Amino acid sequence: MILDLFRLDGKVAIITGAGRGIGAASALALAECGADVVISSRTQSDLDTVADLVAATGRRAITVAGDLADLDVVRSLAAAAQREFGRLDVVVNNVGGAIPLPFFDTTPEYLEEAFHFNVTTAHALNLAAVPLMLEHGGGAIINISSVMGRVAGRGYAAYGAVKAALTHYTELIAKDLAPRIRVNAIAAGSTATSALEIVTTTPELKSMMEDLTPLHRIADPEEIAAGVIYLASPAGAFLAGKVLEIDGGTDIPSLDFGLPDL
């Protein structure tokens, strides 16, 4: 049956930024498809909630609480997968983000910090994960990027630049790691996560975001997680170096900050 291609029975996945939002939804979706998971975020209580949901599916979740800007914490996730499960098959680099800022407030230091959090952390985890993945034949890496990596708007210099870098990084390492490891990305549109809470709870901002999205709504985290399952599972076995755009048809930023001319 075609649905069997979406199964991940016996596989092990790492998901960063998995306490809430897209990361939590992805962890639960992977578990529902048969995978055990290593989940990490800053807040242990959030991870415990997700771990309980995973356990209810009959799968195991190992939690690692820590600051994922710390590369030692990131690297430890691969070691946790090896120690607890003896294998690793899927990596979901979900942690990231950067607050949009006007041009003159986007300092070089802020840009470097954004690059570190969005791109360097993913590379550090991939470097630690790939040798383990190769031990069992290969696997899949999914990098969670953003529609802002390909569209332009005022205030997005840092966020858009680092997400564009993550997208192209995906395309580049897909060449390095093929054929045994498939690397793809998801360019997510506006999604109802805690990072957007200030927007989704402000009626005029929420209305703007919906109006500027062709499908006139904000995505649910589960809709992004469905893309993760596709790319991680045998259903996506012939995709490598591609960007799956789950963005509601967005071709302009869904938030206009109204920044004036200089």
pLDDT along the chain (262 residues), means of 10: 96 97 97 98 97 98 98 98 98 95 97 98 98 97 97 96 98 98 96 79 88 94 98 98 97 91 94
- Report, as residue numbers or ranges, the catalytic residues: 159
Does some domain include residue 254? Answer: no
Measured distance CA(250)–CA(191) in Å, rounded: 12
Does some domain include residue 69? Answer: yes
Does some domain include residue 218? Answer: yes
Strand partners, 61: 37
pLDDT, residue 225, reads 98
Structural domain count, the chain: 1
Residue 44 DSSP code: H
Rounded to whole angstroms, what are the CA distances from 37 to 24, 55, 57, 195?
A: 11, 10, 12, 23
We report the CATH number of the domain holding residue 7 as 3.40.50.720
Residue 207 three-state SS: helix
Measured distance CA(96)–CA(115) in Å, rounded: 9
pLDDT, residue 200, reads 77
Does some domain include residue 13? Answer: yes
pTM of the model: 0.96
Q: Are 45 and 24 in contact (CB under 8 A)?
A: no
Enclosing domain of residue 205: 2-244
Measured distance CA(164)–CA(168) in Å, rounded: 6
Measured distance CA(82)–CA(67) in Å, rounded: 21
pLDDT, residue 179, reads 98
pLDDT, residue 201, reads 82
pLDDT, residue 9, reads 98
Does some domain include residue 215? Answer: yes
Residue 2 DSSP code: G
Rounded to whole angstroms, what are the CA distances from 144 to 2, 10, 28, 141, 152?
A: 25, 23, 16, 10, 18
Using alpha carbons only, how large is the chain's radius of gyration in Å?
Answer: 18
Does some domain include residue 230? Answer: yes
Measured distance CA(221)–CA(83) in Å, rounded: 30
pLDDT, residue 161, reads 98
Does some domain include residue 260? Answer: no
Determine if residue 72 is left, alpha or beta; phi over 0 gives left, psi from -120 to 50 gives alpha, anything else beta: alpha
Does some domain include residue 249? Answer: no
pLDDT, residue 195, reads 75
- Return the residue matching tokens 């893309």: 227
